[in-house]
Chains A and B, each alone.
Chain A
C-alpha cells in the first residue's frame, strides 16, 4: 500500500516505527476490516497474516477441557501474530476479533523478510513481545490471586483502554468466555459493579461510569502491564 502515510496510521506499533522501518513494511500493508467473532489465527494452523489493529480488539484464546478462555488482549497498541516475529509458524492459541474495527495486515513471509532487513524493526517488535508477555503474566496473576469482580474490572479497563467508544460491546455470554466462568458468575459481578455505580450494563453493552472506582476494584490486577508498555514502548 504505497500511498499509506505513517502519520495517518493509528496502530501505535506502526506509527512509532522510524520512517525507514515503516517504509520497509508500507508496500505490503493491506487495510482490512475486523469483523466481530472473526478468527484471525486458528490454533495449530499456519499463521498467514500478521494483523495490526487500527480500531477494535483481538483476543488470544486458549482451548481448555472446560472451554475457551482468554489469555491475552490486543488492540491498536499491538499486533496479532507475534509468533511470526519469533520465528514460529503456528500458535497453540487462537486469535479472535472481540470488538470489530479496522486493521492493517501483512503476510507472514513479507514480515519475516522486512525483519531480516532491519535489526531496529526486529528490536521494536521484540520489545512489544516483552510487553505482551508481561500482560499474559499479569492475566495469570489476576486469575490466581483475585476474585471475579476484580478480574472483571481489570478486563473492562483493558477493553476501555483499547476502544475509542463509550459503549463497550460486551455480552454476559462473551464475558463468561473471557473470564473462564459460567454466565451466572458474570451476572453477579456485573450487577455488583453496576450497583456501585462503576459501570452501566445494557443490552450487551457496558459503559464505564467511574474509571477510578474500577481501578480500585481491580487493585493490583490492573496497571502493571500498562505501566510496562508505557515504559518500554513509550507513552500513548
Chain B
C-alpha cells in the first residue's frame, strides 16, 4: 500500500503555523500516532516564547499542504 503525505498545521491563538514539508504516513493510525508523538515532543522539548502554553495550541493533520479546512 502506498504512503500518503500528511501535513500537520498548528494553530496558537491567532497564529497559524503551516507545515510546508509534511510526512509520509501509511494510514489513519499512523497519522494519529505521529500527531501524538509530535505533541509529546513539543511539550517536552520545544520550550518557546511564541507558544507559552501548549494547552492553547491545536493541530490538524491533512492531506493538503497549506491552510486549515
Which A positions have Cβ atoms within 8 angstroms of B?
A: 146-150, 171-173, 180-185, 187-189, 191-192
Main secondary structure on chain A at its contact with chain B?
helix
CB distance from A195 to the nearest CB of B (A): 8
Chain A residues whose C-beta falls within 8 Å of the C-beta of B10 in the assembled complex? 184, 187-188
CB distance from B52 to the nearest CB of A (A): 10
The residue from A172, A173, A183, A188 contacting B48, defined by CB atoms under 8 A apart:
A188
A-B contact sample (14 more), CB < 8 A, given A181-B45, A182-B46, A183-B19: A148-B47, A173-B21, A183-B23, A184-B19, A184-B38, A185-B48, A187-B10, A187-B17, A188-B46, A188-B50, A189-B48, A189-B50, A191-B17, A192-B50
Query: CB of B20 within 8 A of chain A?
Result: yes
Which B positions have Cβ atoms within 8 angstroms of A?
A: 8, 10, 12, 17-21, 23, 37-38, 41-42, 45-51, 59
Contact B21 A183 (CB under 8 A): yes
Contact A172 B42 (CB under 8 A): no
Contact A147 B47 (CB under 8 A): yes
CB distance from B38 to the nearest CB of A (A): 5
Chain B residues whose C-beta falls within 8 Å of the C-beta of A182 in the assembled complex? 37-38, 41-42, 46
**Which A-chain residue is minimally distant from B42 (CB atoms)?**
A185
In the bound complex, CA of A150 to CA of B46 (Å): 11
Chain A residues whose C-beta falls within 8 Å of the C-beta of B12 in the assembled complex? 188
6 closest Cβ pairs, A-B complex: A185-B46, A147-B47, A182-B41, A192-B50, A188-B17, A147-B48
In the bound complex, CA of A124 to CA of B9 (Å): 49
Chain A residues whose C-beta falls within 8 Å of the C-beta of B51 in the assembled complex? 188
CB distance from A172 to the nearest CB of B (A): 5
**Which A-chain residue is minimally distant from B47 (CB atoms)?**
A147
In the bound complex, CA of A184 to CA of B43 (Å): 12
Contact A181 B18 (CB under 8 A): no
Contact B41 A185 (CB under 8 A): yes
CB distance from B29 to the nearest CB of A (A): 18
The residue from A147, A171, A181, A184 contacting B49, defined by CB atoms under 8 A apart:
A147
Chain B residues whose C-beta falls within 8 Å of the C-beta of A187 in the assembled complex? 10, 17-21
Contact B49 A180 (CB under 8 A): no
